[in-house]
Amino acid sequence: MRDPLPSNTYLDAAPDAIYVADAEGRIQFASRRGVAMLGRAEPAELMGRSFREFVDHEDVHLVLDMLRDARRGPTEMRIHPHGGPALWAEANAERVASEDGRASIVLVLRDVSRRKRAEEELLAAKAEAEEAAQRLVRSLRALEREAATDGLTGLWNRRQLEQVMAVELARCRRYTQVASLVLLDVDHFKELNDRFGHDAGDRALAAIGKAIARTARATDTPCRWGGEEFAVLAPGVSAIAAVRLADRIREEVARADCGVPGKVTLSAGVAQLDPTESLEQLLKRVDLALYQAKAAGRNQVELAPGRGDSPEHRLFQLVWDPTYECGDALIDGQHRQLFALGNAVMDEAMSGAPREVIRLRLAALLAHTVSHFSDEEQLLERVGFSGRSQHMSLHRALVDEAVRLDGLLEGGRVGVQELLNFLVVRVVHDHLLGADVAYFPTVAAGPPGGGREAGPADGPK
């Protein structure tokens, strides 16, 4: 039988470890370097031993693959020599056949431990460098945030807001979107500082900053403009809606505990971004509106002339009139709130706000309307209004229509025109100025039997 390999002398001189194994992986031959790699002194110590005995248990499947395939390219595996440290080897295998037809597997292994160590050290160094880079990025971000944040209030500072406003103004120019700026100033802050000290003034400013932050939307950018002035940039918000935002902030600050005796109030100016003007022109307009709010007596909001203050915009605002009052304080107050909530829905719809925002406004309107209808029906029963049952049917129809509109909004199948028709025509014109007026004389006359009974609307005497 002819040996399938060259002479032992030639194989022993090879720089790599060479083995011949049968189809089951039992060693039939090992070169001099092969014997040394497995930690043995003589080839006889390896004869008949399974090559898998010397391979890490997690890499045994690699050996099985090599025995199964006719030819197997470079495969890295861990070898455990007898009595020595583990090493990494790169193995190649090829199936050969002797003259009697028996198959043998020739395994050629090269010790690559040094290269693997270098690779592992390189990977470790790379991981360490990446972690150092991430730490640096986090530190830079922290420094950037610190540089952009007001240390006293935790709000953004003026420099940061000016950068955001420049971007927002460019976006408004490109996509014809709306945004508004609210500028707020603490009323009589110098007197507060003179009377209670600068530490008290700082506490008040910090409390005001927190009140502004919790009142503003997640998409707004509130900042400390400087000194006792604050600002809020409100993207996607028309001027009229921004006036209501400023009012909410003013009311929140008035309710807040600012760490000084008495109530702290704000004056505010509001301006809608005009794509045709510069940032400097916008700031002049909103600053003038703030000055007018202060000159008019403070603790109020003024809207700057320009975008959002046009006759076309105000045409779609529900304006309350005293002639709409029925004489019951609770119902009249609810009707005024209905106007305010209806305006909020129309403002968001006309400003192109996302339908999720419009749905939130409509949900608030619907919740108020349901509560109002319940109180109104109790009033009609108390005063003995003869058309109460028919009026209740009108209430149910309006609620059903509002729910239908909400469903269409969710699917993106309702437009501004349908919302305007529902609010202006159905709610205000048909119901409040039509059906509701029918019970006004009955409310004025009082409950049957004479003598007006005290109800929830009357409040304490």
Q: Per-residue confidence at 353, pLDDT binned at 50, 70, 90? A: low
pLDDT in tens, 104-138: 889 999 999 999 999 999 999 999 989 988 888 88
Token readout for 269 is 């100016």
Return mean pLDDT, the chain: 84
At 55 the pLDDT is 93
Q: What is the mean pLDDT of residues 400-419?
A: 76
At 416 the pLDDT is 61
| Whole-angstrom distance, CA of residue 247 vs CA of residue 267 | 9
Q: pLDDT: is 379 or 426 the higher one? A: 379
Q: Which amino acid is at 64?
A: L
Token readout for 112 is 């690559």
Cβ atoms of 451 and 335 closer than 8 Å? no
Could you please report the per-residue DSSP string of 29-79?
EE-HHHHHHTT-SSGGGTTT-BGGGGB-GGGHHHHHHHHHSSEEEEEEEEE
At 313 the pLDDT is 46
Percent of the chain with pLDDT over 70: 88
Active site residue 228: yes
211 pLDDT higher than 50: yes
Region for 447 from its dihedrals, namely left if φ exceeds 0, alpha if ψ lies in -120 to 50, beta otherwise: beta
pLDDT in tens, 375-389: 999 999 999 999 999
| Whole-angstrom distance, CA of residue 234 vs CA of residue 195 | 34
Q: Per-residue confidence at 196, pLDDT binned at 50, 70, 90? A: very high
pLDDT in tens, 56-107: 999 999 888 888 876 667 899 999 998 889 999 999 988 887 666 678 889 9
435 pLDDT higher than 70: yes
| Whole-angstrom distance, CA of residue 246 vs CA of residue 268 | 7
At 173 the pLDDT is 79
Token readout for 284 is 């002049």
At 5 the pLDDT is 53
Q: Per-residue confidence at 144, pLDDT binned at 50, 70, 90? A: confident
CATH 1.20.120.50 segments of the chain? 316-461
The answer to which of 211-215, 262-266, 403-407, 448-452 has the lowest mean pLDDT is 448-452
| Whole-angstrom distance, CA of residue 434 vs CA of residue 419 | 19
pLDDT in tens, 231-283: 999 988 888 888 889 999 999 999 999 988 889 999 999 998 887 888 899 99
User: Facing residues of 72 across strands?
Assistant: 93
Q: Which amino acid is at 186?
A: V
pLDDT in tens, 11-38: 888 889 999 998 888 999 999 999 999 9
364 pLDDT higher than 90: no
Q: Per-residue confidence at 447, pLDDT binned at 50, 70, 90? A: confident
At 168 the pLDDT is 87
φ and ψ at residue 444, rounded to 5 degrees: -65, -35
Q: Which residue has the tokens 């029963």?
A: 381
Token readout for 324 is 């709409």
Per-residue exposure over 169-184, b if at least 16 CB sit within 10 Å of its own CB, e if not:
beebeeeebbbbbbbb
φ and ψ at residue 382, rounded to 5 degrees: -65, -40
| Whole-angstrom distance, CA of residue 395 vs CA of residue 84 | 90
Residue 96 contacts by C-beta under 8 Å, 6 or more apart in sequence? 4, 5, 103, 104, 105, 106
CATH 3.30.70.270 segments of the chain? 153-308
437 pLDDT higher than 70: yes
Write the class of the CATH domain 153-308: alpha beta
Q: Per-residue confidence at 453, pLDDT binned at 50, 70, 90? A: very low
At 460 the pLDDT is 35
At 268 the pLDDT is 96
CATH topology of domain 316-461: Four Helix Bundle (Hemerythrin (Met), subunit A) (1.20.120)
pLDDT in tens, 171-192: 887 777 788 999 999 999 999 9
User: Facing residues of 28 across strands?
Assistant: none
Task: Give which of 5, 41, 39 is closest to 20, Cα–Cα.
Answer: 5
pLDDT in tens, 274-323: 878 888 999 999 999 999 999 989 999 998 877 555 444 444 566 677 78
- Considering the domain delimited by 8-111, tell me its CATH architecture: 2-Layer Sandwich (3.30)
Percent of the chain with pLDDT over 90: 44
Q: Per-residue confidence at 350, pLDDT binned at 50, 70, 90? A: low
227 pLDDT higher than 90: yes
Q: Catalytic one among 128, 146, 228, 401?
A: 228
